[in-house]
Amino acid sequence: MKIEISDLTFTYGEHAVLRGATFSVPTGSFLGIIGPNGSGKTTMLKLMSRLLKPKGGCILLGERALEEFGHKELARTMAVVAQDTTAAYQFTVEDIVLMGRAPYIGRFQSETTEDYRIVHHALEITGCTHLRHRAVTELSGGERQRVMIARALAQEPQVLLLDEPTSHLDIGYQQEILDLVKKLSTVDGLTVVAVLHDLNLAAYYCHELVLLHQGKIKACGLPQEVITVENIEEVYGTRVLVTPHPVFGTPQISLLPGILNRHKEQKAPHLHLIAGGGSGGELMRDLNEAGYYLTTGVLNVGDSDWEAARALDIPVIAEVPFSGITEERHRENLALVTEASAVIVAEIPLGHGNLLNLQAALAAAEAGKPVYLLEEKQQNRDFTGGAGAQLLAAVKEKGIVVREKTRLYQLLKDEYPLETFGVEKKGAAH
């Protein structure tokens, strides 16, 4: 059964909570409602389940207006799993699920074998059969959540509304419940609308998404149309990366630090990082967060460390992809090394293409500048047939070898005390 919502508005007293929402949910679709806290998601679901009455606009279930449905008729058409499923009474699981049959049982009738068959089926597909004689008050959060879904399914609805069905559940239960819900929509044609706060789960499972922002629809459509860097940064006020799921291609969000690299003008201690091949990303994130002014080089364009430097606004001396360091880039790197208070050498693999980076570190050490060499893994990383190892030994002799990142941070903090520097935040909407 399809749902059509047009120009829906709602206010709590003077407070406008929904301000003209229009979208539709096709039969058998799984639609996720996402948005920050207080954006109106639960209110939307309450309007759709007729727990609240809209101030304006309308909701159609199939071809009919929601308000035209009789009480029992609505319960036979739509089931709702609310957010708070704490059960106060000592009912057994089977009793609770049997309550889902109430819209089908007349006032003076009792349950039929058909009702029990449906209840047992609902218990089975939600994995609750073994719990059926247990008191619902004695269940874990995940078990209770599944029981509430079983009760909703016993209603044999055509539409299922869920408010944060996976909050408080661990990743295993989240997957179990959302797999089930997805199957009910895809295979059995149930129309599902769920409020979800986990954006990655929403993008992974839902056919379509509605993104609410301050009571308005900011975006609506396929996950890749809704989960974009621009939308997420604007609505949540946080810096993110959006990349396709490595297997299925659905958009997935990764957090980026909100704090960008301190600029020179802020007079933070200047550290120059020599990295490459993914050895420097974590260092950049942590040292940037701590408050140092960072520079880095020479890195190849496209290297993951080059990506990390760009994401954090760290000045980087960059060489074209897959090419060795040229004299020109080396000179630029040496200029930054000279400016910096100290040089940090990450655990880089050594090839003929990047030996000049070690030469830069050696030049710094020979000039009396502190050079910290991080060696956590301590495995052979010389791919030059000896020249790299020899150069590394020379740098080590004059530098400071550190075995753990946390130790490095401690040494740096002692040597280069950090004051409170101004913080520049990017992408923050609030």
For ligand ADP, the binding residues (CB under 6 A) are 12, 15, 17, 35, 37-43
For the CB of residue 15, give the shortest distance to ligand ADP in the complex, in Å.
Answer: 6
Count CB neighbours of 397 within 10 A.
Answer: 10
**Shorter beta-carbon distance to ligand ADP: residue 17 or 287:** 17
Kindly state the tokens that stand for 333.
């790197």
For the CB of residue 373, give the shortest distance to ligand ADP in the complex, in Å.
Answer: 49
For the CB of residue 37, give the shortest distance to ligand ADP in the complex, in Å.
Answer: 5
For the CB of residue 96, give the shortest distance to ligand ADP in the complex, in Å.
Answer: 25
> Beta partners for 33?
195, 210
| Degrees, nearest 5: CA angle 418-423-282 | 70
Per-residue burial over 336-358, b = 16 or more CB atoms within 10 Å of its CB, e = otherwise: bbeebbbbbbbbbebeebbbbbb
Q: How far is CA 403 from CA 329, 380, 415, in A?
A: 29, 15, 17
Rounded Cα distance between 269 and 340, Å, is: 8
**Shorter beta-carbon distance to ligand ADP: residue 38 or 244:** 38
Contacts of 405 by beta carbon, 8 Å cutoff, 6+ apart: 282, 283, 286, 374, 376
Q: How far is CA 418 from the centre of its chain?
A: 31
The DSSP output letter for 28 is T
For the CB of residue 42, give the shortest distance to ligand ADP in the complex, in Å.
Answer: 3
For the CB of residue 39, give the shortest distance to ligand ADP in the complex, in Å.
Answer: 4
**Shorter beta-carbon distance to ligand ADP: residue 3 or 350:** 3
**Shorter beta-carbon distance to ligand ADP: residue 210 or 312:** 210
**Shorter beta-carbon distance to ligand ADP: residue 35 or 388:** 35
For the CB of residue 191, give the shortest distance to ligand ADP in the complex, in Å.
Answer: 20
**Shorter beta-carbon distance to ligand ADP: residue 201 or 412:** 201
User: Do 294 and 288 form a contact (C-beta atoms < 8 A)?
Assistant: yes
For the CB of residue 17, give the shortest distance to ligand ADP in the complex, in Å.
Answer: 4
**Nearest of 259, 255, 256, 262 to residue 295 by alpha carbon:** 262
How many residues are listed for the chain in this entry?
430
| Bridge pairing between strands 342-345 and 371-374 | parallel
Q: What are phi and psi of 67, to 5 degrees?
A: -70, -15
**Shorter beta-carbon distance to ligand ADP: residue 42 or 185:** 42
Using the structure block, give the residue that is written with the tokens 């005390």: 417
For the CB of residue 38, give the shortest distance to ligand ADP in the complex, in Å.
Answer: 4
**Shorter beta-carbon distance to ligand ADP: residue 43 or 166:** 43
User: Do 218 and 212 form a contact (C-beta atoms < 8 A)?
Assistant: yes
**Shorter beta-carbon distance to ligand ADP: residue 195 or 274:** 195
Contacts of 412 by beta carbon, 8 Å cutoff, 6+ apart: 271, 287, 290, 292, 342, 372
